[in-house]
Every structure is written in structure tokens, then in C-alpha cells.
Structure 1
Amino acid sequence: MAAFVLATAVVAASAAFSGAVAERETLDPGAFARWALPIVLTVHHLAVAVVAGCLLFAVALLPPWRDRAAGAAGDREQRQDPHPAFTRAMATASAVSIVWVFSAVAVFVLTYANLSGQPVSGSEAFARELVYFGTDLLVGQAWATVVAIAFTVCTLTFLVRSPVALVATTFLALSTAIPISLVGHAAGSDDHFAGVGALVVHWLGVLVWVGGVAALVVVVPALTGSQAGANTSGGVPLARTVLERFSTLAGVAFFLVFASGVVNSVLRLGDWEGLFTRYGQLILIKAAATLLLGAIGLAHRRWAIGRLETVSAGRTAWRLVIVELGIMASIIGVTAALGRTAPPVPQEIEPAITPAEVLTGYLLPPELSWDRWLTEWRWDWLWVAFVAVAAAVYLLGVRKAQVWPWQRTASWMTGLAVLLYVTCSAPTIYGMVLFSAHSLMLLALAVLVPLLLVLGAPLQLMARTVARRTDGIRGAREWVDVVRPALSYPALNAVVLAASLGLVYYTPLFRLVLEYWIVHQVANLYFLAVGFCFMTSVIAPSSGRPIPRTAQIRTAAILAGALLLWAIVLAAGVLPVLEPDWFVNMARTWGPPVTLDQQLAGISVLVAGFAPMAFLLTALILYRAPRHESAPSSTS
């Protein structure tokens, strides 16, 4: 409650300083709407962070039962007694989700009032125009989506407690970052989708970091008091275990927040002179507070966590957590004020004047030549963040393993480099214009990148460096164990991959992938995951039973050949031309005609697909999956 009050006070002061609540000369919605919107935005942002943080703690950091070990020994009644920390986290998520729903509805209404310049009223005309705002305009659609997500999450927090359902609810809460980012200031920059991607990364980091600290404050009494129970991890008190695990997660979130914040600031400020505006001064205040939070987090990790058992250090550690939450609430207040303040770089997107801009949001790229495959880049900050985190986590695992084949590390890093190239360079840029380029992009995501990543043996590295938890909490390794049986059936994974390619290209889904940024991102992630499952089932199956090498190679050859043939059939356009309205209306003045381009796609897939498939068979012949990867002795 104190955090909500503090955030409200800070947003009021920041909005007054920046002039965001000043009376307008035209289309003024009235003092109530001008002052209420930034305040309600602050309440909304803090509420969604608290809900997401509490759900994240419930699914990944807190034991669901008071004493899981005792339950395993047969004490069913004690096993069924929920842990008080878990109960507090879910109760808080349920209560604050109600605040989230009402604040989301209020933001939706007040946003329309501010954009239209009409005072909030209960008239029929206002209600009719509000419906139009929520169904036909991008800003209204985004906030209507937030309202729907908030209502769904609120309902689920009261109804579900199973691990899978809670994970789905947590991801749904975190997905709020997408519609919020679609209407943020950075999204209005010249490179719209780069701004959206940077904002999504920023908001995901904020929700994990701020929400996690808020959840930590909520569950502290249940972690340190007499109700904490006997839950330990390798003899380590539960409070220390939870704080250590969250500290690692918060460190990743801090770097995502700060790095994406720098990118967003560059997009909104334009140049150094933008820092001297009131908008820029608020940016500097926000950056300084973020660095201070990073320093406090470092103090936690280096000093406080190891001394939690002592009374004085324990009090200092929890006081630091409360101070963190206060600073974070203040930052959210500044953020809400920034959202209502005009940035130095105008937010309005210039109207599209070419067919390519209308369809893709970008000018038609120059004619594709051999050198353009390497020189055309457009940074997608979602995938940049994904690659950076994946590389850092893998390298930390290699460091912990101490002895690890360099070939595996090289394969993993090469796979990430290819992933970055495919998502941020010519394959994606020209994939929106040429069907042949799009088919190459999808083939690389579904075959080549997963092959390189699987040869890096990440699951074996996890088995060696991450111990299974004994406190009833499902961590990364436990969730991998849940899906591991699906990695034992190469034929099933090949069918799923082949069917997915057919569904994308020969259903209306292909148009959605081309037209909508979020569908494009989800499709890329989906094919990367499905390809990873297929390659894992072929190269390093997890069935636990020995498979003869010749049988494994024969199975891989049959499946790889069938998949390649199917990809050629899809790309070559045996069926009618795919999405002619999109590719014909691009007004492209260079390159082959649309029909010829689709026929050339089959040849390009054959050439580009033969190499990774041949590499797969070669790697399978040379690859020797370790018979046993011993887990570390520590269970923390």
C-alpha cells in the first residue's frame, strides 16, 4: 500500500514538472481526465507488476506445500497443507488483480477522453464512441486487450492452483507487455517495430524485477517467521534459497531493463540535446534510480544473502528490499509521467506513401544482391535480448561445469549467431518482400539453427550444472523433465514440424505472419522450438534406452529426406501462388516475378536445405551423446 501511495505522489509531481497535466488550448478533456490518467496509469503499471511477480514466485520460487519431504514419506495431511508463503503470494495476486482490472478499465476510458478531448461522461454518444475507440483504433484495441488479459488473469488467480495452469496464467500476465509496448513512445519512432521490440524487452524486465521485489516483500513474514516450515534446500534456510534464486533472476532483468531503456531513450530523445529538455531530465532521473537499484541488488548478492542468518544482517537485507520497492514505485511514477509527456522526437508516425510501407511498415529494400545478404540489417531487439541471455546463461553453465568440450560451446554460439543473423538481417528483411527469402528464413529457423543449438548439448549441460530441487519447487530442470518424454520420438516430431510448415504456408495464417509483427515473432519462436525438439529427438533422444547407431542414422536419414522433400514441395508452389495480394501489391520493380520467385523458392530450399541435412547426418555419425551426465552435489 505504501508503494502505491508513493508511486501516486511521484507521478503527480513528475507530471506537474513535465507539463503533462497542463491545460490544452484545443481538445482539452478537463482537469479530471488530465490528472487522473497518469495517476491511474501508475496504479495500473504497479498492479500488473505485483500480480506478475507474485505469480512468478508461486510457480518458480516458492514451495507449494509446507513440507514436501514429509509428504513424500507418507504424511498426506501435512503434504496437502499449503505453504504460507505460497498462500500469501497467491492471495496477493488475487487481490491486486482486482485493482489491475479496475485500473485497466479506467485507463481505457481516460485514454479515449484525452485523445478525443472530451470530458468523461455517461452519455450515450460518449459510450458509442468509446466502443468505436476500442474496436477500430490501435490505441483502443491495445488497451481493450489489456482489459481482457487483466480480467482473465484475475479470474484464474482465484480458480487455478495446478503448476501447469499457474505457468499459463503467469505467461498471460507477462504478455501484457506486448499491447502496452505497441502504443508506447518508442513505438512511434521511425523504426516502429524496433521500438516495439525494445519496449517489450523493457516491460518484461520491469514486470519480473519490480514484481519480484514486491512479491518478496509480501512473502517475507512467511519466509522468516515461525510459519516458514521445514522447507530447506540442501540444509539451506528457505529464505536464503528464495532470495538467491530471485537475485539471479533479478540480475538478468536489471540488464534487460537498463539496456532496453538506453535503446528506448535513444529512439525518443534523438540526440544529446534531448537530454536538456524536461523529458530528458526525467529520463536521467529514471536512469540514475535504476543504477541505484542495481547497486542495491549487487549489495544483496555480494553481502546480505550470505549473512541472512545473523539478526542484524537479516534486518538490513529485508530493509534493503523494502527500500528497493520504494525506489521502484517512484520509477514507475516517473514512467507514467513520461508516457504523458511529449518526447523531443515526435511520436506520430509519418503516413505511408508507398505500397511497401503500407504493407510492411518499411520502405521497399534495395534490389537483393549477393552483398546485400550481409549488409542489410534491421535490429530486432527481442531476438537480440534472447540471444544475449541464451549466450550468457550457457557460458555461465560452461564455467560452472569446469570441463566442457569446446566444440559444443562453439556450436551453441554459432547457432545463436545464425539466429541473430536470420532474425535481424536480410532473410527477415527480404522475407517480407520475396517468398523465396521467407522460405529460406523459416527453413533456417526450423532446421539449421536448432541443429547447431542441439549440437551444443544444452540439456546435458543443464544436467551437469543444475541439480534437481528437493523442496517441492519446480525449476528449469524440473520443467525440462516434464517435456523430456516428447524428445524421444523422432517420427512424431518430424510430423509436427512438417504439418506446421504446411499449416503456415497454405492457410490464412501465412497472411497473419506477414501482416502482424506479433504473429511473426510467435511463428519464429514456435518453429525454433519445434525444430529444436526434432533435432534433439534425432541426435540426443531422451528415451533412456540404448539405440543402435545404425538404426539412429537410418531413421535420421529417412526423416531428414522426407522433411526436405516436403519443404521443397511447399516452397516450389505445387499449389496455387501463395498470398498473391501481398507479394504482387508490393510494387517491386526488381527481382523475378511473383510466380517465378515462388518456383525459385523450391530450388533455394533444395540448395540451402541439403547442406544442413547433410551436416545433420555427418554430425550424427560423429556425435557421441554422453551416457550419463552427473548432477552437481549441491542442491541449491
Structure 2
Amino acid sequence: MYPRSVSQTTSLSTGNAGGSVGTGVLAGKRDAWSVTWLVLACGLIATCVVIGISAALPNTTVSASLLLRDPGPLTTLGLPVVKTIFDYAGALTIGWLLGAVFLAPPKPGGGFDVGGYRCAQAASKCAWVWCAAALALVPFSASNATGFSIGTILSRDGIASALQSLDVASSSLQAAVVAALVAVLARVVLRPASAFAVFGLSILGMLPVALSGHATTSGDHDFASDTIIFHLLGISIWVGGLVAFLALARQRSPHLDTIARRYSAVALIAFITVALSGVGNALIRLSYLSDLWRTDYGRLVVVKAVLLISLGGFGYLQRRKSVTAITTDGDRRPLLRLAVLEIAVMAATIGVAVALGRTAPPAPTPESFTNLTLVLGYDLSGPPSAWNLLTQWRFDFIFGTGSIVAAGLYLWGYRTLRLRGDAWPKGRLISWLVGCFVLLMATSSGLGRYAEAQFSIHMMGHMLLGMGAPILLVLGGPTTLALRALPAARRGDIPGLREGIVGLMHSRFLTLLTHPLVVLPLFVGSFYAIYFSSLFDTMIDSHAGHLIMNLHFLLVGYLYYWVIIGVDPSPRRLSSFVRLALLVAALPFHAFFGLALMNSRSVIGQLYYQNLELPWVSNLLSDQHLGGGIAWGGTEIPLIIVIIALMAQWSKADEREGRRSDRKSGTAVKSDDELDAYNAMLTQLAGRDSQQR
């Protein structure tokens, strides 16, 4: 997976294909092993673990417990093997990209150094393996879900039918497409700022398959889905990042002490994330404490917990001994020895995790399941009154956690400036904190709870996520605060996080996104693309679809208002006229969208809302018309805020221009006075000379 060790050469002064990518890799004694062989060996360990568990527990797999037909040994043992390769290759891809973006310091010019470039190339190779495993998952998962053999599924109509009727098959195909795109892009990127977008895309590629398992089909499956997302991303970054770190250490990459400190911080965060999300998911799945030793699922949870605890111990030793040895005297041998053992345990953990995902959890406690509980994962206590919207909270672990973390980081930056004696406008602080609170309310309060069940409430959340929260967050100026709070790299030092933010702000990707002809269609066109096509019906049917819609509304809204009223510097500075034109151009599209919903004759997401059987929604079309009215009238308050912000910015710009003109005028007057005095002095001296003569 990783190119051959650079220690096989005596020097390396230029880059690979495409031009120079950096220098500074030190030659050293060749080791008896390579990272490629280590990756393959650990993949074999994970595969053997999952095969052993699947063979020992054949009657507890999801397919055996839910189907009358046995798909055969090829599917029973082949599916966990393919799933292990899928998870392992995906984790390696994410880890290599993490190494290229964050671990390996770039060159002073902002491009990849040798280590970062090779990490990106290794990510491309792993992504192709990831893509192949995702494609193989399509027939295996379809065979497991239907009970038909692989040969039957691979017939002329078997794959097409599976893709149309089975979410797990279509999710695997989606992951394959994303993995292929990551493989192509990782091959051509040459800068960390560009690789950051590929890194985000690789994270999205891991989610479709993970969110199509049995943890998303029972009570509290919204919590289960959120914890799975945190758990999967944490373990992927942890495992893949360690491989990238080990490869950079083995090739004697420059600034290895900095790389070690960076990975140590990432690994600590990943460990905490994996531990908390694992405990949370286990609490959801296990009804009684005795399920830990009475059921196969519980026993696998215990085994996985023991492995994770041991990995935490390895991480502690890494921080205490290996990282210290590197930073003090440059000795990398303790790191290599401990990291090899740690990766092997991680591989076994992945195998246990795959087997756990295919093992049926214990039967839930006896309770009356309603349609709401089965579809939403939770129940509703009544119609969405003002009191219920304010008090019926259900914390969103994705956006709720994100809003709290964003507020905390902003407060840290604000405090850093204050301790340094620098001023920061309190209006920006208030705007950011209120924006975080609006995001929290829109996703975790009763508003977020009812948004998944009723279209009109969903539209209220849409307006807050797409307009209310982005406007307030943009006015907070988080990028400017980060650039002022983070330390700048001195001349000759390696670039840090501040320089990475600067590079991202000037990247071609953001320059393209902030173009008026791109940002306006993204903001306006998404309304029509989602609600007036089959996309809404597809996404509304799952918790993952709700998360995707919420994320889309928030990001697109932030991008649009950043271009119009953004306090932060952007790659493309637009004139006041263009920004006003962008604002005015969106108004008729918003109005027409609301009017189209108010006058619609067909119900959007009809099958989904009918299955909920809400007693207080007797007419779905009337509720949809109400949602259209909310969309039509919900733009007035955000529009007023934007206009006030624009006027304030124009007023400040005029004041600055006036002061600049006054300074220039004062300088000119002063210069004229000095010139007149100088001429008068020359005249006086000339008169004295004539008198003396």
C-alpha cells in the first residue's frame, strides 16, 4: 500500500512524477520489514478473527436469525471477509489522507513534502481496494438479505433487483462510487488544502454501509446511528493514522517529533470518541447487564472492550516513552516496536467489530412498539405545541455536539485574545454563540424531535438551519478569530494549523465555490432539487437522510451568506453591488418555492408520513401547504438581518474611506505648507545675498 522505503536509496533530492515535491528525507539503514507487508499481515489477522467468530457463531448472524433460507457457506463466511476488507481499506484510506493533510508538515510554499505526497499516493491505492470491496459487498449483502446464493444474485436480473429493493446493496454501490472518486482525486492532489476536501469525501464514503446495518432498524436507532458514526470515524482515524504515522517514521521523515506530537493528539481524541460512542451504543443494544455474559452479542462487546482498553494502554505508553524518545534524542525504535504490536491489536479489533455488526443483539425489553417508535426510533407525546417544541428535547449527537464544540472553541479563541490584550468585538461573540444555540435548538429541541415526523415542522427547522444559524455564524467571523488566536509559524519553522487555514482559504476549491455563478445556484437550486424530485422521499425515510439534509442546508447556507455578508476573508472579494445582486436574485426563487408548496396537489414523502399515522395530522396536504407558507414567510426576518448587516458594513467602509481621504488630504496640505515655507526661506536667503553684494 505504501511505496518502497526511501531507505533503499542513498538520497532523495527531487519529487516524483509531476515535478519536485520536496526534499529532506534522510537515508538510513534498511529495515527487514516494510509497511506494505505489515498492512497485509494485519489485514490477514482481521480476516482470520472474523472468520473464526463467524464459524463459531453461525446461528447468531443476522441472516440466520431472520431468514428461512440459508444463503450458503460462501455468503456466510464470505460476507464478513469482504466487510472486513472494506472497513480495513477504508480506514487505511482515511488514515493516509490524514497523514497527507495533518501529520506530514508541508513545504513552506504550501505544497506536499515527500512524506505528504507519498501518503496521498498510498491513499489512492488503498481507495481502489476499498472500491473493489464495496463492489463485492453488493452481491454478498444481497445474498445475505434474500437468502439466495451468490450465483443466483449474480444472474442477469439479480443485481439490478437488489439495487432497487435493498438499501444495503445500494449503499455498497454508493460507497464504491465515492471510493473510486477518492482514488482518482488522491492521485492528483499536490497540496494539503486540496487533500482536505478528499479527506472529507473519504469520511462520507464510510457512512452509507455503516448506517444500513441492524443498529438502524430498532428502537432508539437515531442514537444508534449517531454513535456508530462517531465510533467508525474514531477507529478509522486511529487505525489508519497510526499506519501513516508508522510509515512516516520508518522513512525518517523530517520533523518527526512534530508528526509524533500531532498523531498523539489525534489518537487521544480518537480513543475518547471510540470509548464513549462504544459505551453509548452498547447501552442502547443491551437491555440487561446480564446480557454481557449470557448472549453472544454481549460477549463480543466484552472482547471488543478489552481490546480497546489495551489499545488505550498502548497509546499511553506511546505518549510516555516512544514520543518522548523521538522528541528528545530522535530514537524511533521504541515507537516502531510498540506501533507494530498496536496495529496488530487494532486489526483484531476490526475483525471483532465486523463480527459484532453481523451478530443479532439481545431481544429488547417487552414494550408496545408504535409506528413512530419503529420509524423514528422514539415516540411523540402529542401534537407540536409551543410547549412541546421548547421542552421535548432529544439531543442530536451529531449537530448538538458540533454546536457545543464550536461554541467552546470560539470561547477559547476569544479568551486567548483577551489574555493577550487584544480586542475582539463583543457583537461577533454574541452572534456566534446565538448561532450555535439556534443550531442546537433546530436539531436537539422539540423542534428537531418533531421535524422528522411532520413536514411543516421540518420546514421550520430547514429555515433555521439554512438561513437563521448560517447568518449568525457568518457574522461571528470564526476564521478571523482563529487566524488571530493561533500562533503563526516563524521564518524557517514548519507551517502549522494557522498556515493550513490560510492555505484552505486560498485554495482553488473554495475559490470555485465562492464564485457568484456557483454559490447562487447551490443555495437556490437545492430547494428545488431536494423537494421537487425523488431525493426527499429517499432521504426522509432514514435518520442518515435527515443528517445529510441538515448538513447540506447548514453548509450551503453558510457558504451563501459568507459571500454576501461574511466578516471573514474569502478567496473572492465581491463588490457591494454584486453582493446586493446575489441577495436580491435569490428572493423571487424563495418566494416561488414557497408558493409552489402552498399550491401543490401531491404530497411530498407521502408514503413515509402515512406510515407514521400521526393522529393530529389528518390532512397531509394541508400540513404541506402550511410548510410552504413557513418557507414563503420565513425569509423576511433573515432578509432584514442581512440588509442591516450590509448597511452596517457599507457605513464602516465609507468611514474608513473617509478617514483615508482625510489623511491623504492632511498630508497634501502639510506638504504644501512645508513647500511654501521652504520657498519663502530660499527667497529670504536670496534677498540677503543681493544686499551683501
After TM superposition, the score normalised by the length of structure 1 is: 0.77
Does 1:55 pair with 2:97? yes
2:314/2:342 contact within 8 Å kept: yes
Alignment of 1:294-313 (within 5 A): 294-298=312-316, 300-301=318-319, 304-305=322-323, 307-311=325-329
Q: What corresponds to 2:463 in structure 1?
A: 443
Letter in 2 for 1:571: G
Match of 1:11 among 42, 50, 57: 50
Does 1:252 pair with 2:259? no
* 1:310 to 1:63, Cα distance in 2 relative to 1, 3 A: closer
Letter in 1 for 2:265: T
Does 1:426 pair with 2:463? no
Q: What corresponds to 2:238 in structure 1?
A: 209
Looking at structure 2, the residues matched to 5 and 513 of structure 1 have their Cα atoms a distance apart, in angstroms, of 37
Looking at structure 2, the residues matched to 144 and 239 of structure 1 have their Cα atoms a distance apart, in angstroms, of 39
CA-to-aligned-CA distance 1:492-518 (integer Å, 9 cap, x gap)? 967753454455455555545544554
Match of 1:290 among 308, 329, 334: 308
Match of 1:540 among 550, 553, 567: 567
Does 1:261 pair with 2:278? yes
1:21/1:34 contact within 8 Å kept: no
2:219/2:377 contact within 8 Å kept: no
2:565/2:642 contact within 8 Å kept: no
Match of 1:497 among 514, 517, 523: 523
Looking at structure 1, the residues matched to 572 and 443 of structure 2 have their Cα atoms a distance apart, in angstroms, of 37
| Helix, strand or coil at the partner of 2:384 | coil
* 1:342 to 1:407, Cα distance in 2 relative to 1, 3 A: same
By how many angstroms is 1:208 displaced?
1.7
Looking at structure 1, the residues matched to 358 and 383 of structure 2 have their Cα atoms a distance apart, in angstroms, of 41
Looking at structure 1, the residues matched to 462 and 476 of structure 2 have their Cα atoms a distance apart, in angstroms, of 21
Does 1:479 pair with 2:504? yes
1:505/1:578 contact within 8 Å kept: no
CA-to-aligned-CA distance 1:131-164 (integer Å, 9 cap, x gap)? 5334422222223333444444445555665667
| Helix, strand or coil at the partner of 1:540 | coil
| Helix, strand or coil at the partner of 1:270 | coil
Does 1:189 pair with 2:180? no
How many residues are aligned here? 594
1:556/1:617 contact within 8 Å kept: no
Q: What corresponds to 1:242 in structure 2?
A: 259
Looking at structure 2, the residues matched to 545 and 159 of structure 1 have their Cα atoms a distance apart, in angstroms, of 24
By how many angstroms is 1:480 displaced?
2.5
By how many angstroms is 1:130 displaced?
5.0
2:392/2:445 contact within 8 Å kept: yes
Does 1:330 pair with 2:341? no
1:189/1:267 contact within 8 Å kept: no
2:475/2:565 contact within 8 Å kept: no
Looking at structure 2, the residues matched to 480 and 307 of structure 1 have their Cα atoms a distance apart, in angstroms, of 36
CA-to-aligned-CA distance 1:307-333 (integer Å, 9 cap, x gap)? 424448643234333333222112112
1:51/1:93 contact within 8 Å kept: yes
Larger of the two Rg values belongs to structure? 2
Identity of aligned residues (%): 29
By how many angstroms is 1:459 displaced?
1.1
Match of 1:85 among 103, 107, 115: 115
Supply the RMSD in Å over aligned alpha carbons: 4.5
Match of 1:45 among 87, 90, 107: 87
By how many angstroms is 1:335 displaced?
0.5
After TM superposition, the score normalised by the length of structure 2 is: 0.71
Looking at structure 1, the residues matched to 182 and 514 of structure 2 have their Cα atoms a distance apart, in angstroms, of 34
By how many angstroms is 1:170 displaced?
3.2
Match of 1:580 among 603, 608, 627: 603
Match of 1:180 among 192, 209, 213: 209
* 1:435 to 1:38, Cα distance in 2 relative to 1, 3 A: closer
2:304/2:349 contact within 8 Å kept: yes
Q: What corresponds to 2:391 in structure 1?
A: 375
Looking at structure 1, the residues matched to 528 and 143 of structure 2 have their Cα atoms a distance apart, in angstroms, of 45
Alignment of 1:226-237 (within 5 A): 228=253
Q: What corresponds to 1:133 in structure 2?
A: 162
Which 5+ residue runs of structure 2 have no aligned equivalent?
Answer: 1-39, 657-693
2:225/2:543 contact within 8 Å kept: no
By how many angstroms is 1:542 displaced?
2.9
Q: What corresponds to 1:278 in structure 2?
A: 296
Looking at structure 1, the residues matched to 459 and 148 of structure 2 have their Cα atoms a distance apart, in angstroms, of 49
1:201/1:385 contact within 8 Å kept: no
CA-to-aligned-CA distance 1:443-494 (integer Å, 9 cap, x gap)? 1112221233234331122111335667578733421333776898899967
CA-to-aligned-CA distance 1:79-125 (integer Å, 9 cap, x gap)? 9xx744235424433443454344444444444444455555x5788
* 1:45 to 1:497, Cα distance in 2 relative to 1, 3 A: closer
Looking at structure 2, the residues matched to 442 and 307 of structure 1 have their Cα atoms a distance apart, in angstroms, of 52
Match of 2:547 among 512, 515, 521: 521
Further displaced range: 533-542 or 413-422: 533-542
Letter in 2 for 1:532: Y
Does 1:340 pair with 2:382? no
* 1:611 to 1:342, Cα distance in 2 relative to 1, 3 A: same
Further displaced range: 31-40 or 41-50: 31-40
Q: What corresponds to 2:556 in structure 1?
A: 530
Q: What corresponds to 2:687 in structure 1?
A: none
Looking at structure 1, the residues matched to 526 and 122 of structure 2 have their Cα atoms a distance apart, in angstroms, of 40
Does 1:570 pair with 2:593? yes
1:487/1:534 contact within 8 Å kept: no
Looking at structure 2, the residues matched to 293 and 399 of structure 1 have their Cα atoms a distance apart, in angstroms, of 35
